[in-house]
Every structure is written in C-alpha cells, then in structure tokens.
Amino acid sequence: MLTKRIIPCLDIKNGRTVKGVNFIDLRDAGNPVELAKQYANMGADELVFLDISATLEGRATTLEMVLHVAEQVNIPFTVGGGISSIEHVDALLQCGADKISINSSAVKRPELVNELAEKFGSQCVVVAIDAKEVNGQWKVHLAGGSIPTDIDLFEWAKEVEQRGAGEILFTSMNHDGTKNGFANKALAKLSETLNIPIIASGGAGTMQHFVDTFKDGKADAALAASVFHFGEIPIPELKKELKKHHIEVRL
C-alpha cells in the first residue's frame, strides 16, 4: 500500500514565508530555507514552495532560494509561482527542484501541460487548482485566487490529467486558512474522477482533519501551512496519530 504523504507548504512573498486566511491578510511565518530544513528533519515527506505573488507581479520564481533549499533538504520539493515556459522549468530543476507546480499558466495555455510532461516526464508536473464552491458548483480561480473563471473544477482536473499532469494540488478557497477541515466531498469526487494522486490543501486545523481527508476525502497527500509554521501540529505527533487510525505513513 502506498503511504500517505504530509506536505508543509511555504507561501513565499518577498523572500519570506507568509500565511493568510482565504488567500488574504498575510502575516510573516519565517525564513523559507530554515523552515524547509526543520520540516525535513521533523519527518515531512515533501515540501511545496509557492511564490504567491509571482503571477500577479508577472515575474519568475526566485532561483536562488531553490538552490539554497536543495542544499539543505533531502526530501522532494515542488516549486510553483509564475512558471510559464519550458526554459523556466528547466532552470528550476537544474537548481534542485524535484517537481514544478503550474496553475494560472496552465489555464491560459493548456498545451503547456503537454509540453512539460513530454519534456520532463509527468512525475515532474503538478497542476495546482484553486477552486471556490459557488452555489454548489466548484469554479477554478486564477492568480492566487483573485480572478474567478467559469471553469469547472472536475472537468479541468480531468483535462490536465489527460494532458500529462502527474499530480493535482487542489486548494479549496472556501476552506483555506479557516482550520475547519478539508473539502472532503470535493476531494472524494476528484479521487473518483482521476487516476493520478491528489494533494488536499486548505482547511487543516486539527490532527483529526488529516485523518478525515485521508479516509473520507480519499486524498493521497495532505498539505498545510500555518498549523506547521506556528507549531500547532508537530509532524511526528501527527504521523503517530495517523498510524493509530491505520493510515499508512512513513515514520
């Protein structure tokens, strides 16, 4: 049986880790390289770095930070934010990233998913989807959640899988930063729709929320930020709790 993964997410703005609620009201959470090293030592399975203002500001994710992280950690890490070309992905992988995450750029030009999968392999390509439930329908949002679209979450996820994405990182904007639990109904539906791994994001507040998203949401991995950054849920204790519930994790 494949083990379930615990993934701290570091949202980066101006070289610092930040955390907000519902994608706004950001506060400082520390140095990303130092945090990455701590998480690797604590037993995190992977890391995700998202340069949250890169798309809005129209610039590329910082390569220097990726180099420093690669020097400090021995677990896989994904980098996202403002990525829109093969050249940029090549540079990030050369600096030590294991995977890249694309979001707005994939919606604007879906062929990018095909191109990246063909060039670097599906295992490198994570498509991040920020979606909001509006009147019972899940709609994709772009540019850090600031631009709504009419694109259906489940149809879009299926399309990017067919185009070669190796993994989906689904963030529920309704749940992000609320600490009320993950969007497990939507996650379970995604799991039924897709054949690739799904990372649950948005809403972690307690250890039970992680148990629920693996059992009810059928997620393959669970991503969180503030509960890890501010020491509310220590990763070693979380993994012990998951084991108690017969959820396979790497200890």
Strands 77-80 and 99-102, by their bridges, are parallel
CA–chain centroid gap for 241, Å, is 22
**Position 189 pLDDT exceeds 80:** yes
What is the domain range of residue 187?
A: 5-244
67: its two tokens: 């180099």
Inside any domain, residue 249: no
Task: Identify the CA nearest to 106 among candidates 98, 95, 97, 117.
Answer: 117
Alpha carbon distances (Å) from 52 to 79, 83, 142, 206: 11, 11, 11, 25
3-state secondary structure of 98: coil
Report the mean per-residue pLDDT for the chain: 91
pTM confidence score:
0.92
| DSSP one-letter code for 89 | H
- Given the residues 11, 45, 212, 220, select the one marked as catalytic: 11
Inside any domain, residue 250: no
**Position 53 pLDDT exceeds 70:** no
- Given the residues 45, 51, 130, 220, select the one marked as catalytic: 130
The answer to whether residue 152 is catalytic is no
Inside any domain, residue 209: yes
**Position 236 pLDDT exceeds 70:** yes
For residue 29, what pLDDT is reported?
59
**Position 61 pLDDT exceeds 80:** no
Report the CATH number at residue 106. Answer: 3.20.20.70
Overall number of domains in the chain = 1
Reading phi first (left if > 0) and then psi (alpha if -120 to 50, else beta), residue 121 is in: left
Inside any domain, residue 127: yes
Tell me how far apart the alpha carbons of residues 108 and 94 are, in angstroms, rounded to a whole number: 25
Segment 209-236 shows an average pLDDT of 95
Inside any domain, residue 149: yes
**Position 96 pLDDT exceeds 70:** yes
Task: Identify the band that residue 16 occupies on the pLDDT scale cut at 50, 70 and 90.
Answer: confident
**Position 12 pLDDT exceeds 60:** yes
Inside any domain, residue 251: no
Inside any domain, residue 75: yes
Exposure string for 169-202, b = 16+ CB within 10 A, e = fewer: bbbbbbbbbebebbbbebbbbbbeebebbbbbbb
Segment 35-50 shows an average pLDDT of 95
For residue 23, what pLDDT is reported?
44
The answer to whether residue 212 is catalytic is no
- For residues 152 and 140, the answer to whether their CB atoms sit within 8 Å is yes
